[in-house]
Amino acid sequence: MEPRIDLMQNELGGKLAKRLFAVHTLLQQTGLSHTTQNLVMLRASQINGCGNCIDIHAKEAAAEGETATRLNLVAGWRHSTVFTEAEQAALALTEEATRLSELPGGVSDETWARAGKYYDEDQLIALVTLIAMINATNRLAVTLNQLGGSYEPGLMSAVAGG
């Protein structure tokens, strides 16, 4: 499978990618921990089958000090002991918000209340925005056949530059 369009080599694609990265940069400045953000982006990308984003977010998380054990268990977080209750709440919200079409009522009140126990209003806004943005990014990458496997940590930072 070959990429359909190289997003970063296309003038419009590059501009749009920079805007998406600008939102990501803003989210990193919120009170939502980078660890939680990395877990959320990795989990949504796993659900969406986005090899490119899985590659990026697993490698970026590892470069920021995330352990291989935790990275390997993200897909099975419900059946592991390595995530905090707050992280589990964020992962539950991620799964429900990513699988909206599979859930008759969308995100459940139970999942929302669970997240609200650990995150304040600003952090919840950041978390929901992060989930929306990674889902949008996954859809771009999967649709355009952006393939995973060759990402090097730190390359995403170059998107914000020129």
Q: In the predicted model, is pLDDT for residue 159 greater than 90?
A: no
Inter-residue contact 13 to 7 (CB < 8 Å): yes
User: Smallest Cα–Cα separation from 12: which of 135, 103, 144, 111?
Assistant: 144
Look-up: residue for tokens 């805007």? Answer: 19
pLDDT, the chain, mean: 93
Smallest CA-to-CA distance from 33 within 96, 160, 122 is with: 122
Contact 139, 48 (CB under 8 A): yes
Residue keyed to tokens 């950041």: 126
pLDDT in tens, 60-91: 999 999 999 999 999 999 999 999 999 999 99
Please tell me the predicted confidence (pLDDT) of residue 107: 97
**Element housing 113 (H / E):** helix 109-116
What is the pTM for the complete model shown?
0.93
- Which residues have C-beta within 8 Å of that of residue 79, sequence separation ≥ 6? none
From residue 32, alpha-carbon distances to 76, 79, 106, 123, 145 in Å are 22, 24, 23, 5, 30
In the chain the first and final C-alpha atoms are separated, in Å, by: 29
Model confidence over 17-61: pLDDT tens digits?
889 889 989 999 999 999 999 999 999 999 999 999 999 999 999
